[in-house]
Amino acid sequence: MFDHIKIIYHQGKQFIPDVKTAKVPGIFRGRPVISLAKVNESELVNSCPLNAISAGPVRLDLGKCSFCGECARQFPEKIEFTTDYKIAANNRESLIICEGDQGPVKIDPAKVRKEVPRLFRKSLKLRQVSAGGDNSCEWELNAANNVQFDMGRFGVEFVASPRHADGIVITGPVTENMAGPLQICYDAIPDPKIVVLVGTDAISGGVFRDSLALDRSFLDRYQVDLYVPGNPPHPLTFINGILDLINA
């Protein structure tokens, strides 16, 4: 008993007091900034293993980007990754960063369905489905629940049953073998419900975009309420995206 109290005492204060302004350590690759410097654009486009960069004007699609940093290494004068982790958006187009853009990635309040903030502002229960995910996004979503990020303090939690959920969180590129179970899970969630895509694989297929083993038709059928880019997304990216959505 006293041992346990001692352990609790030794932990000190672990939680991040303000998840909106916390600084991430080190050289985290978050929102990129593209300068107006002139570079060989075809080489720049070609430097990306995932075809996330397009030319004229130079744009980088965070929904396709794996944040490997290859472009910034080859063209440091053109592309720089900042440590800004707030890169989730509800518009697919908001994930496309154009050269010269300096502003943050934002939730567009006009596109948030009215019932989402009204019903879920104080309590949002989510059912996560890994549809071909590589377990990296799952690790980070679990980390969002740990004592440091402590997403539960905002009333946001993952639940076991879709019947208890207000929305579905999808990771992975949606494999053919998971397309059926994903649909069943979605159908089991009572209305109104939200759809959240977490990670580059889910948003665009990522490194698997050309695979013949995928069936992404689910994503054509339903409106996506939140895109959370990253490979995997940082827990703070996910938490801030969700909070901005339900407080819109």
Partner 1 sequence: MNHTTIFNNQTIPISQIPEISYDDFFELNAGFVTETADRHCVSYFGYPVGQEIKLICCMADDPSHVIHISSCLVSPTGNLASLTTGNFCFEKFEREIHENFGIGFTGHPWLKPVRYPHDRKDPLQTIANYPFYGIQSEELHEVGVGPIHAGVIEPGHFRFICNGEQILHLEIQLGYQHRGIESLFLSNSKLSGRVQLAESIAGDNVAGHAIAFASVWESLCGYQVPPEVDFSRTVALELERIAVHTGDLSAACADVAHQLGGAVFGRLRTPIVNFFQEWCGNRLSKGLIRPGCNQFPFTPDLAQRLLEVLKAFEPEFIEINAAIFSLPSALSRFERTGAVSFENTLSIGSVGMAARASGLNRDIRSSHPHSLYPSLQHEPITKRHGDVYSRLQVRKEEVRQSIKYLRELMTRVPHGKQEPGLSGLPQPDSFALSLVEGWRGEICHCAVTGAGGELLKYKVKDPSFHNWMALAMAVRNNEISDFPVVNKSFNLSYCGHDL
Gap between the Cα atoms of 55 and 190, Å rounded: 43
Gap between the Cα atoms of 63 and 96, Å rounded: 8
Min separation Cβ 24 and partner 1, Å: 7
Min separation Cβ 175 and partner 1, Å: 5
Q: Which is nearer to partner 1, 106 or 125 (CB)?
A: 125
DSSP state of 48: -
Q: Is 56 left (phi over 0), alpha (psi -120 to 50) or beta?
A: left
Min separation Cβ 228 and partner 1, Å: 14
Tokens of 225: 């309420």
Gap between the Cα atoms of 131 and 179, Å rounded: 7
Q: Which is nearer to partner 1, 90 or 171 (CB)?
A: 171
Q: Which is nearer to partner 1, 73 or 111 (CB)?
A: 73
Gap between the Cα atoms of 47 and 26, Å rounded: 24
Tokens of 131: 């549809």
The gap between the terminal CA atoms of the chain, to the nearest Å, is: 45
Min separation Cβ 238 and partner 1, Å: 11
Q: Which is nearer to partner 1, 12 or 56 (CB)?
A: 12
Min separation Cβ 185 and partner 1, Å: 6
Q: For the chain, how many residues are written?
A: 248
Q: Which is nearer to partner 1, 26 or 36 (CB)?
A: 26
- Identify the burial level of 236 via C-beta atoms within 10 angstroms of its C-beta, where 0-12 means exposed, 13-18 middle and 19 or more buried: buried
Q: Which is nearer to partner 1, 233 or 248 (CB)?
A: 233
Min separation Cβ 219 and partner 1, Å: 15
Q: Which is nearer to partner 1, 105 or 233 (CB)?
A: 233
Gap between the Cα atoms of 65 and 62, Å rounded: 5
Query: Which residues of this chain interact with partner 1, rule CB under 8 A?
Result: 3-4, 6-8, 10-11, 14, 24-29, 49-50, 66-70, 73, 81, 128-143, 145-148, 158, 160-161, 172-173, 175-178, 180-181, 185, 201, 206-208, 210-214, 231-232, 234
Gap between the Cα atoms of 135 and 79, Å rounded: 29
Min separation Cβ 210 and partner 1, Å: 7
Q: Radius of gyration (Cα) for the chain, nearest Å?
A: 19
